[in-house]
Structure 1
Amino acid sequence: MTDLAVELDLPAAGPDEPHIRIDNPVDGTLVGRVATATREQTAALVEAARQASRAWARTPATERGAALRSAAAALRERVDDLARVNQAETGKSVEDARGGVLAGAGTLEQYAELGPLHRGRSLLGDVTATDLMVPEPRGVVAVLTPWNDPVAVACGLLGAALVTGNTVVHKPSERCPHTGLLVAELISPYFPEGVFNHLAGDGQAGAWLAENPAVDVVAHVGSTRTGRAIAEATARTGAKALLENGGNDPLLVAEDVDPVWAAGQTATGAFANSGQICVSVERVYVHRAIAEPFLGALTREAERTGLLPLVDEAHRDKVHEHVTSAIADGARPCAGGVVPEGPGSQYPATVLADCTPDMLAMREETFGPVAAVRVVDDFDQGLAEACDDAYGLAATVLTRSMEHAQRAWRDLPVGTVKVNAVFGGAPGGAAQPRGASGQGYGYGPELLDEMTTTKVVHVEPAPG
């Protein structure tokens, strides 16, 4: 990857500079070192965004949209380079990484179209007056994005912020700084100086952004712990916090479905991208009547899947802690659950049976290729236990019963409910996470509302 970094002309840290070191999660080889910003440099980027905000807010929305379209074209042109860097840093497959880049480019194009159409209202007041509700940019938006789908997620938040007239400081995850650097190099030429600003740094740099009183919005996708720290910081500064944080997403398997099909859905939800998706299946509630064939089929799926790369060894340690804790508390490992020998940070697709609600793997987000399975006596029990959770991101229900489906989507206290498909959905869907999973719309046309604030205007003629 060092040769690839040179080939792509990505800047590297000097020998004495504070830096982030990235190793390839598959084989442990050095990917590269990226210099990290100081507190003073972080503050300077925020000030640059503040200085550029007035002119950018007054730029016609069509011109802002045109800049996004140009940025999207640049990402499409370099999709293979971005995918290679992403794979080297996070272990994500090249196919998935390409899909994330193309999804990100598509999102920029969507916001390029939606931005100029974002509108306020005229109000019906006195016939001699004009009354309006006008959306305006909030100002400086700090965008903090994760490593598991770094391009697609970043493009959503960046696109909505920029097209509505905000300026941004973007800090990608310290686990994929080379991907973030390349995205910045491709996007920044299409915006005036100070409008798009890139920051390389770790969690400390994110904290400096969140506590800066010149930041008007902190938009964050990542862990609940970080989200809560951001919420505390913005409560002091008065900035808006837009948060999509962790999830502990349940999957309910009713007795009326094919257990082999249900196992396939579960495996897709739990093992795709090594279980490192915000809406991955974390805990499974299966009806006792089909539990045995379901577990058998899910175990075979896990064994066929085999080893999967996790982003780094620290994250693998956390995933394995959840597994070993569950086993110590009585869970039965049906597949996986053993750290492999050799370099890298791979982990096997894992199935845990005989899980109970108090186990760590059932209570907290594992964010790895682990399916923790709980057998329940009926649908009511499964639904009740699925609802009993601090998180509120997403949930899935597998059933042929319309009654069960209706009850589940109405009762589950989450932002997204999927029936008979762990992934999928129509374009433009936007949900609000709940509880420990965050707050505010993170996608769709509604994200434009999050990035703007509304001013009421009343105009009437002067006498005389």
Structure 2
Amino acid sequence: MSSRLQNFIDGAFVEAHGQDTIEIINPTDGRQVAVSPISDAADVDAAFAAAQRAATTWGRTTPAERQKALLDFADAVEAHAEELVEAQHRNTGQPRWMITQEEIGMGVDHLRFFAGAARTLEGRAAMEYMEGHTSYIRREPVGVVAQVTPWNYPFLMAVWKLGPALAAGNTVVLKPSDTTPESTLVMAQLLGDILPAGVVNVVLGDGGTGQLMVEHPTPAMVSLTGSVRAGRQVAATAARGLKQSHLELGGKAPAVVFADADLEATAKALVEFGTFNAGQDCTAVTRVLVEHSVHDEFVEMLARAAAELTTGEADESKNDYGPLNNSRHFQTVREKLSRVPAHATVVTGGVPEAGGAGYFVPPTVISGLRQDDELIQEETFAPVLTVQSFSDEAEAVALANGVAYGLASSVWTSDHGTAMRLTRELDFGCVWVNTHVLLVAEMPHGGFKDSGYGKDLSLYSVEEYTRVKHVMHALGQ
């Protein structure tokens, strides 16, 4: 029997005012596991009222107090890891081992980083920039923040939102994706025992609920991780209220492979980095650009590496990756793969069967696509790698940069000079060398162009949740 979910507002779970609901489906088998409300304006008002009441008190806590709260939260996540894994698996179908290692474990580490970061914010030195007057800088929380998280990494993306916002002293109203709310609600329950009421509030709903949050007069900042389309809508709406916005959007990451790379090892790595989490990662390898002299050989290596992967098994522990998150996205991917142009070759994989159990897509490698083709230019968000060839560095850079996205990229070579030149020329917020996807809490994550603006992780993300105030004292008064 599926459960009926509730909002978390002012420190307690409450029924939503909105009468419409969403069925939460386990994408491994299409089974309904929960019913979620679509929160309306009254729910959003209640959440922001609670956050506003809590803002003054929480915003005046010391960094040490905020650090302790985040450390306690990290400890609580560790203690309730199994509950979080099960809640998320029901909504995403991700293999439990993956959620445990890549979200819960990493999320705990990131929370502990943000706990430390709470005590490191600083301004410029106080001094007399004008005779007889002393100036200094105050870093203050922006106040109340509206946050919207995606369905591909529900737990970890909530950590990336909540961690820096709380470290900086803000209060939050967060809306998880309409298809993956349950792990976020477990987090809210844990935070209810740690934080004062109203500091973190969770409202459930769809895109309309998110729009109500962005339009609401209370939040001073809106933070979204999602699609380019959603990002543009949020930016336009936030601009009307002169709200700060933080947008981490899509990607179309290239991996530039030179002939002097360790080709066999590189092929295996790129398939792993392109299919991890079923390719539902905006930093995932999607476009493989390989030097012409080894193109055909490398395509064969990619196909062999892809053939070694397993997905779609009833025993999810045997799967290298799980299903796509929902039927709508599954159908979109099927349609894109059905439109592969005649000049391209599907080397392995291709259009998944419809009507089977779960929304599984086989690892797919496609060669022969042209730069203006849909599968090169548009985000697929699936375990699909395209392969193009280049003749020299200039062409490699032109192909890599020749998309609207600018989130992530990688260079694969044994030549240090080549790597240094490419990291300078690639127009992406992150460039890896001989690896891909890996992230650490200390380094920023965020892109350029249609991939949005603002940084997650690192001290840069905490600073984004602050405002800078200049204070000047007249020394003679």
Question: Which band: TM-score by shorter chain?
Answer: over 0.9
| 2:248–2:447 contact (8 Å) kept in structure 1 | yes
Query: How many Å separate the matches in 1 of 2:460 and 2:391?
Result: 40
| 1:248–1:391 contact (8 Å) kept in structure 2 | yes
**Aligned match of 2:318:** none
Query: How many Å separate the matches in 1 of 2:391 and 2:123?
Result: 52
Residues 329 and 230 of structure 1: CA distance in aligned 2, closer, same or farther (over 3 Å): farther
Alignment of 1:63 with 2:77, yes or no, is: no
Indicate which of 363, 383, 396 corresponds to 1:349.
Answer: 363
Indicate which of 240, 244, 257 corresponds to 1:240.
Answer: 244
**Aligned match of 2:344:** 331
**Aligned match of 1:441:** 455
Deviations 1:202-248 (A, max 9, x none): 11111111111211111111111111111001110011001110011
**Aligned match of 1:358:** 372
Query: How many Å separate the matches in 1 of 2:261 and 2:167?
Result: 45
Greater shift, 425-434 or 75-84, is seen at: 425-434
Q: CA deviation at 1:376?
A: 2.4
Q: CA deviation at 1:418?
A: 0.4
Q: Which amino acid aligns with 1:331?
A: A
Residues 51 and 329 of structure 1: CA distance in aligned 2, closer, same or farther (over 3 Å): farther
* Structure 1 residues 21-60: aligned runs within 5 Å: 21-60=23-62
**Aligned match of 1:293:** 297
Q: Which amino acid aligns with 2:28?
A: V
Query: How many Å separate the matches in 1 of 2:389 and 2:242?
Result: 46
| 1:71–1:187 contact (8 Å) kept in structure 2 | yes
Residues 12 and 67 of structure 1: CA distance in aligned 2, closer, same or farther (over 3 Å): closer
**Aligned match of 1:429:** 443
Q: CA deviation at 1:102?
A: 2.2
Q: Which amino acid aligns with 2:222?
A: V
Q: CA deviation at 1:304?
A: 1.8
Q: CA deviation at 1:166?
A: 0.8
Please state whether the residue corresponding to 1:232 is helix, strand or coil. helix
Q: CA deviation at 1:3?
A: 8.1
**Aligned match of 1:154:** 158
Query: How many Å separate the matches in 1 of 2:342 and 2:171?
Result: 50
Indicate which of 111, 116, 123 corresponds to 2:126.
Answer: 123
Query: How many Å separate the matches in 1 of 2:335 and 2:263?
Result: 29
Query: How many Å separate the matches in 2 of 1:97 and 1:11?
Result: 25
Query: How many Å separate the matches in 2 of 1:58 and 1:130?
Result: 24
Query: How many Å separate the matches in 2 of 1:426 and 1:177?
Result: 25
Query: How many Å separate the matches in 2 of 1:38 and 1:90?
Result: 25
Q: CA deviation at 1:85?
A: 1.7
Please state whether the residue corresponding to 2:458 is helix, strand or coil. coil
Greater shift, 335-344 or 92-101, is seen at: 335-344
Q: CA deviation at 1:167?
A: 0.6
Q: Which amino acid aligns with 1:339?
A: P
Q: CA deviation at 1:128?
A: 4.8
Point out where structure 2 has 5 or more consecutive residues left out of the alignment.
6-11, 312-321
* Structure 1 residues 165-204: aligned runs within 5 Å: 165-204=169-208
**Aligned match of 2:228:** 224
**Aligned residue pairs, count:** 458
Q: CA deviation at 1:13?
A: 8.3
| 1:13–1:34 contact (8 Å) kept in structure 2 | no
Q: CA deviation at 1:403?
A: 2.4
Query: How many Å separate the matches in 2 of 1:276 and 1:423?
Result: 12
**Aligned match of 1:395:** 409
| 2:3–2:35 contact (8 Å) kept in structure 1 | no
| 1:12–1:34 contact (8 Å) kept in structure 2 | no
Please state whether the residue corresponding to 2:400 is helix, strand or coil. helix
Please state whether the residue corresponding to 1:117 is helix, strand or coil. coil
**Aligned match of 1:251:** 255
* Structure 1 residues 75-154: aligned runs within 5 Å: 75-99=77-101, 100-125=103-128, 128-154=132-158
Please state whether the residue corresponding to 1:282 is helix, strand or coil. strand
Please state whether the residue corresponding to 2:457 is helix, strand or coil. coil
Query: How many Å separate the matches in 1 of 2:255 and 2:346?
Result: 19
Under a length normalisation based on structure 1, what TM-score does the superposition of the two structures give? 0.94
Query: How many Å separate the matches in 2 of 1:172 and 1:285?
Result: 35
Query: How many Å separate the matches in 2 of 1:388 and 1:21?
Result: 39
Q: CA deviation at 1:372?
A: 0.9
Q: CA deviation at 1:89?
A: 0.9
Q: Which amino acid aligns with 1:182?
A: V
Alignment of 1:319 with 2:323, yes or no, is: no
| 1:121–1:134 contact (8 Å) kept in structure 2 | no
Please state whether the residue corresponding to 1:23 is helix, strand or coil. strand
Q: Which amino acid aligns with 1:105?
A: V
Query: How many Å separate the matches in 2 of 1:329 and 1:22?
Result: 38
| 1:242–1:442 contact (8 Å) kept in structure 2 | no
Under a length normalisation based on structure 2, what TM-score does the superposition of the two structures give? 0.91
Q: CA deviation at 1:257?
A: 1.8
Residues 106 and 120 of structure 1: CA distance in aligned 2, closer, same or farther (over 3 Å): same
Q: Which amino acid aligns with 2:217?
A: P
**Aligned match of 1:19:** 21
> Percent identity over the alignment?
32
Q: Which amino acid aligns with 1:60?
A: T
TM superposition outliers: structure 1 runs of 4+ over 3 Å: 1-5, 10-14, 126-129
Please state whether the residue corresponding to 2:386 is helix, strand or coil. strand
Query: How many Å separate the matches in 2 of 1:328 and 1:188?
Result: 53
Residues 12 and 281 of structure 1: CA distance in aligned 2, closer, same or farther (over 3 Å): farther
Query: How many Å separate the matches in 1 of 2:345 and 2:419?
Result: 30
Query: How many Å separate the matches in 2 of 1:426 and 1:90?
Result: 24
Q: CA deviation at 1:150?
A: 1.4
Query: How many Å separate the matches in 1 of 2:349 and 2:14?
Result: 38
Residues 245 and 275 of structure 1: CA distance in aligned 2, closer, same or farther (over 3 Å): same
Residues 295 and 227 of structure 1: CA distance in aligned 2, closer, same or farther (over 3 Å): same
Q: CA deviation at 1:130?
A: 2.7
Q: Which amino acid aligns with 1:116?
A: R
